[in-house]
Structure 1
């Protein structure tokens, strides 16, 4: 759907929200279309953001022993380009947590860099702005990523709100796959397609295979990403045992695991992550949903492929 049309469709509800909040408030009435206009600006404004992923070295899973220090600073440097809304969505996914444990620190410097660029876009505006990007595979999911720009509005202030949805880097899951899975195997069946999409989005197999097969910085980064997910899975309340990557298939690999350089197999590593993440998601869904939830309801709730951008102005 065209972004402008989508914003027009929600503008009526935004006005109602603002009117309702103003009935019991003496605060100055905010511009009723400011949130819509801000959301439209976020979708239409292109920007470039530079940042460093060096915070990954703070995690014990980072193995920089074979990383050449002469090239370290440049290797950590990243540049992301896109719309303001798209970069906020990217930052939200980069901040993903599982059961409250942050997955990686690759996005630690990314969110503030995006925030600075976004807020600079609205310098001189007559309205205060707060933007929050939220990625959750399904409502109230134990897996979530959030990024924001600006300060939250004061509680006693009248606020206008607009909502924009943009595509995430995680593949969409068809509602039919979730519904079929639930009918066949309950929450575990529903969780399988969701876990597979999350793992594929966070660990693109072709990219991860190349990282694991290379040396120095690139290999260290690939190994770090996988080891962080292993640590995060172990920290989950739904974890039943310790997590370790399996040995690579084939006698010539010896004791090499699927994330070692000579046994590198990103697809096998992803399959193992998917199995464990399925258990976490299934346990979470069992806790969050009522016993009488229907397959159709579960299917309609899944939104792995989109990030919700909430814009507040006052």
Structure 2
């Protein structure tokens, strides 16, 4: 997928052939400058493992071969030859972790797609190999969420949980997601339209990240199983939000389908923002739809 961030000149972290589709169906993500921790020498000496792992994730690159998962499809669309399902993603470990988190998106705990399950499994294995080189007793958690506590999120973890008695040190970094950076836009919307304005900004950014219209149109007109996987993701997203996009998806009109999703998701966001934040300005300040947070814990 070509993100808006990529259009602004950031390095591509994951790419495939012009296989244009959605999410890891047409694998491509934007990864820009990583925000690495700035520890003093004394702090680093007390907790070298997480800081070293952060650096390894940020600077190391890998290639991940995987197959699209068609288990959620019915009929012929779910039984294509292996050659139609095979994909390869290349990028930094941090960038691929971020993409896996985004691909693992859910609404109210319901997963929107299982197509990238194979990718998620393979990047977990790759990351565990990195942590063995920096101590091994390490857990990594990558989280994409539009704002803290939002009903939609994506999370991927690698490594064991720390034992209850362990002393755990942590290091963090942020990786740009494929979603538009929207905090300033949300702040302006908060001043104009309150919670409703912030919710609308968030919903538009989220839906365009999930279903970029131009790429989505090409994917829906493309080959199986990518077209069927994308249509199924649309169906599940709409169903979870209490709406339907069957007609516009069938007519290959992603902008019309997206408008329905934005309307439904903005209502969901608005209700949640009102219950969670004391003011629209506070809600806007909490927006982080444009980034994935990666936390490394070591013991």
* TM-score (ref. length: structure 2): 0.82
What is the rounded CA distance, in whole Å, between the counterparts of 1:14 and 1:205 in structure 2? 49
What is the rounded CA distance, in whole Å, between the counterparts of 1:2 and 1:202 in structure 2? 22
1:301 aligns with 2:289: no
Match of 2:235 among 221, 227, 238: 227
Q: Secondary structure at the match of 1:147?
A: strand
1:90 aligns with 2:99: yes
Match of 1:103 among 97, 101, 112: 112
CA shift for structure 1 position 195: 0.7
Partner of 1:6: 36
Q: 1:118 to 1:127 in 2, by over 3 A?
A: closer
8 A contact 2:112–2:237 mirrored in 1 = yes
Aligned-residue CA RMSD in angstroms?
2.4
- Corresponding residue pairs, total: 268
Q: Secondary structure at the match of 2:81?
A: helix
What is the rounded CA distance, in whole Å, between the counterparts of 1:220 and 1:14 in structure 2? 54
Q: 1:211 to 1:159 in 2, by over 3 A?
A: same
1:97-176 alignment runs, 5 A limit? 97-175=106-184
What is the rounded CA distance, in whole Å, between the counterparts of 1:193 and 1:2 in structure 2? 24
Structure 1 runs, 4 residues or longer, greater than 6 Å off:
none
What is the rounded CA distance, in whole Å, between the counterparts of 2:137 and 2:93 in structure 1? 17
Partner of 1:245: 245
CA shift for structure 1 position 280: 1.0
Match of 1:217 among 196, 212, 225: 225
1:50 aligns with 2:58: no
8 A contact 1:131–1:149 mirrored in 2 = yes
Q: Secondary structure at the match of 2:166?
A: coil
What is the rounded CA distance, in whole Å, between the counterparts of 1:57 and 1:35 in structure 2? 36
8 A contact 1:14–1:162 mirrored in 2 = no
8 A contact 1:258–1:269 mirrored in 2 = yes
Q: Secondary structure at the match of 1:267?
A: helix
Larger Rg: 1
* TM-score (ref. length: structure 1): 0.78
CA shift for structure 1 position 14: 9.7
8 A contact 1:63–1:220 mirrored in 2 = no
What is the rounded CA distance, in whole Å, between the counterparts of 2:182 and 2:193 in structure 1? 17
Unaligned runs of 5+ in 1: 17-29, 235-242, 247-256
8 A contact 1:163–1:311 mirrored in 2 = yes
Q: 1:53 to 1:13 in 2, by over 3 A?
A: farther
Match of 1:283 among 267, 271, 275: 271
Post-superposition Cα deviations, 1:249-301, rounded to whole Å, max 9, x if no partner, equal xxxxxxxx2111xx2111111111111111111111122223xx251x32221
Q: 1:98 to 1:123 in 2, by over 3 A?
A: same
